[in-house]
Amino acid sequence: MKHPIPVTPGSEVHLGDFDADDTGGIQSKKDALKELDENIEALADLSYRLYAESRRSLLLVLQGMDTAGKDGTIRHVMRGFNPQNCQVTSFKQPSIEELNHDFLWRISRALPRKGCVGIFNRSHYEDVLIVRVHQLVPEEEWKSRYERINAFEKLVTSGGTTLIKMFLHIGKEEQRKRLQARLDDPKKHWKFSRDDLKERGFWHDYQRAYEDALTRCSAKHAPWHVVPANRRWYRNLLVSRILRATLEQMDPHFPAPEEDWEGVVVE
């Protein structure tokens, strides 16, 4: 089984090669949670410096099958970010206005401002996933979108936004358990829909659609990462590691003061 590393541009992805149960050799959930807390503290400092610098931005794209943990990842990993410079956008079924524009229109409007962190819960990739699986547009149309997505992401990154894309990889049996848990817990009934069962019936179609998206749209400037998601604690740890490493590589700095304030005393 492959380890969760960035998808090499030009390589062909087969999700069966990745173990959704992988924990990277970490045996202790306690140790993982300790490191997660350390990473969250570091992310808080790094994102604060990014905000102060106000020259670049960071965009995290989260994709995955239902119950893979997109919401949970945001809740547990992003808790150190200041809402002032962190915006989460969830892309659901397009509105009438959005359908009257190109599929990338609503994505462009949600891009993070300079100094900010943007998080996409689902994204423009839905237009080569659900649109493909349910044949919502002609095949010729959705096939053309891979190159349009690549061109769009190149434009975004050339404008100063660092882009990270993470596929939260959950196994089919683990998804079954999580869906059943929603049915068994009255407090989670609101999260369940018969559409969840309908979508589960398209499991293999979605796997193929994801494999094509990961294969055709991983680039050096916009890499995909395959993140094992069967173990929530490891999923969260790995996402925090990748985010921390990315921000440390960006190395944002506080801007120089406009004047020399040495010796100035506020009376």
In DSSP terms, 161 is beta-bridged to: 57
CATH of the domain at 213: 3.40.50.300
Instruction: Tell me the torsion sign for CA atoms 172, 119, 107, 94.
Output: positive
pTM summary value: 0.94
Contact indicator for 118, 71 with CB cutoff of 8 Å: no
Please report whether residue 2 resides in a domain. Answer: no
Percentage of residues in the chain with pLDDT exceeding 70? Answer: 99
From residue 98, how far is each of 88, 109, 123, 242 by CA, in Å? 18, 11, 13, 32
State the pLDDT confidence band at 110, using cuts at 50, 70 and 90.
very high
Averaged pLDDT, 70-99: 94
Please report whether residue 259 resides in a domain. Answer: no
Please report whether residue 200 resides in a domain. Answer: yes
Please report whether residue 3 resides in a domain. Answer: no
* Orientation of helix 139-158 relative to helix 203-216, angle to 10°: 40
Q: List the domain range (segments joined by +) for residue 131.
A: 15-250
Please report whether residue 258 resides in a domain. Answer: no
Please report whether residue 88 resides in a domain. Answer: yes
Counted domains in the chain: 1
Averaged pLDDT, 72-79: 96
From residue 246, how far is each of 50, 167, 189, 242 by CA, in Å? 12, 17, 37, 6
